[in-house]
Amino acid sequence: MNCGELDELGSVEVVDSTSVYPTGLQSIIDLFVSLPDEEKRETLISYAEQTGKWRPREGESFDLEDIRKDEECADTVGVFLKVSEGDKVRFRITLGPQVQTLTKAMTSILCRGLEGATLPEVLELPSDFVPKIIGAELVRARSHTVYYVLTRMKGICTVFRNRKRAAES
Amino acid sequence: MSSQNYAHPESLVSTDWLAEHLTDPNVRIIESNEDVLLYDTGHIPGAVHVDWRRDLNDQTVRDYIDPEGFAKLAASIGITPDTTLIFYGDKSNWWSCYALWVFTLFGHKDMRILNGGRDKWIAEGRPVTKEKPQYPATKYPTPSGRKDSEIRAFQQDALAQSKAGKPLIDVRSPGEFKGEITHMPEYPQEGVLRGGHIPGAKSVPWKTAAKDDGTFKSADELRKIYVENLNFSPSDHTVVYCRIGERSSHTWFVLTKLLGFQDVLNYDGSWTEWGNTVRVPIQKP
């Protein structure tokens, strides 16, 4: 399944009312849970190939930008955050070429799934959805950077929240 | 001595050579990567994927597949004991060397590494495809055993090597060797409790043997590094290790196939075993 097909499925609301995940992310999780392993892989590849969609676009402005190369990741990752009214977030992300395919896929999934989520929702987002998306076979040594982009997204949100609190106090 | 003067020059093939043998029925190209989805994004035409974790490791015991499992794997990728296997992959061929080393445990004879690996092939603009080849299954005879004693070290072997003061090569990064970090640079923590190295080990990072483009250094350069400067001898009983055995497979390949060392064991338990084991000594500089 490719991301275009997923667009068509975007309106499918398979949302558990007790879900702790933002609606967009929940839809993606539900989709992956329903897929057999081979299709899961194909869909991950499709997401990985779409990372370019989530780079900053011409004319966009951001509240915070965090571009760095950490010890825990193979290449530079840039995270760009825009927070609009109602604390709704939008992420843009740039990835260096050495970043693993699985991490690229998770980048697209998170940017798409968290579009329009609120700052508190991102900050409280548990990471236990990752194995549901990538499947048990791909959870292994040397694939843990799949969690890295989420950590960076939560990190930039934390900085934004702390600065906002400081400004308000 | 030129780059042609490797001890076993037949163990390496160039991208040009492989381009000319893409459809050779006697050749099977095998991609093995760290990036678990990389093969699916595109690979050398005709290449099959051997996944280090799914295909080479036992799924319940920290060990390799058994001879029956190997015969099944070999049959599934359509090879016979006479097939020439060309391994390549990402990360400067760490995992292709690892796969070659595991296949060596089962005695497959003709195995070679694509010099420069996946990155070089792609950098040269050579073809890649997403099409997954299907080869008719073969009947690969079940090997009589696994040659652990010939090329593999277990923890007690590494401990004996350490106590005897015999050559022990730590191929991890200097920071890991010194115990300053407990993860690989550019990787998250992988669950090691202690940092440092096996007492008596010499730090010779795997990268010492590779050029920036991932190809191997010349025979001259390798001999100068390992034999002249570091005083390792081709006849010495030598043990190499890293974290889980893949970077040390790269050095194992360099020492055995390119320099002709005769008795090198890869300690695949490596630091993820040693660094976590109760009552095993570690050293920090």
| B91/chain A closest Cα distance in angstroms | 10
Q: Are A52 and A104 in contact (CB under 8 A)?
A: no
Which candidate in B171, B242, B255, B259 is catalytic?
Answer: B242
Which of A71, A105, A137 lies nearest to residue B54, judging by beta carbons?
A137
Give the CATH number for residue A90: 3.90.1010.10
Whether A3 has a pLDDT exceeding 70, the answer reads no
Domain that residue A35 falls in: 23-168
Residue A119 lies in a domain: yes
Q: How far is CA B84 from CA B12, B80, B112, B137, B139, in A?
A: 12, 9, 8, 16, 16
Contact across the interface for B54 and A100, Cβ inside 8 Å: no
Residue A35 lies in a domain: yes
Residue A68 lies in a domain: yes
Residue A1 lies in a domain: no
State CA B266 to chain mean position distance. 9
Residue A3 lies in a domain: no
Rounded to the nearest integer, the mean pLDDT of chain A is 87
| A73/chain B closest Cα distance in angstroms | 4
Rounded to the nearest integer, the mean pLDDT of chain B is 95
* pTM confidence score: 0.89
How is residue B130 written in tokens?
């997403």
Residue A38 lies in a domain: yes
Residue A47 lies in a domain: yes
**From CA B52, how far away is CA A89, in angstroms rounded?**
39
Candidates A164, A84, A167, A163; CA nearest to A118 is A84
Residues of B in contact with A127 (CB under 8 A): none
Element (H, E) at B68: helix B67-76
The DSSP annotation for A85-131 comes to GGGEEEEEEEE-TTS-HHHHHHHHHHHHHTTT-BHHHHHT--STTHH
pLDDT at B285: 83
Residue A138 lies in a domain: yes
Whether A2 has a pLDDT exceeding 80, the answer reads no
Number of domains in chain A: 1
Instruction: Collapse the DSSP code of A36 into the 3-class scheme (helix H, G, I; strand E, B; otherwise coil) and give the result.
Output: coil
The complex's ipTM works out to 0.80
Q: Write the pLDDT tens digit of every residue in B2-29.
A: 456 999 999 999 999 999 999 999 999 9
Rg value, chain A, Cα: 16
Give me the count of residues in chain B.
285
Best B94, B186, B190, B242 residue to mutate vs chain A (most A CBs within 10 Å): B186
Q: Write the pLDDT tens digit of every residue in A42-86.
A: 999 999 999 999 999 999 999 999 999 877 677 899 999 999 999
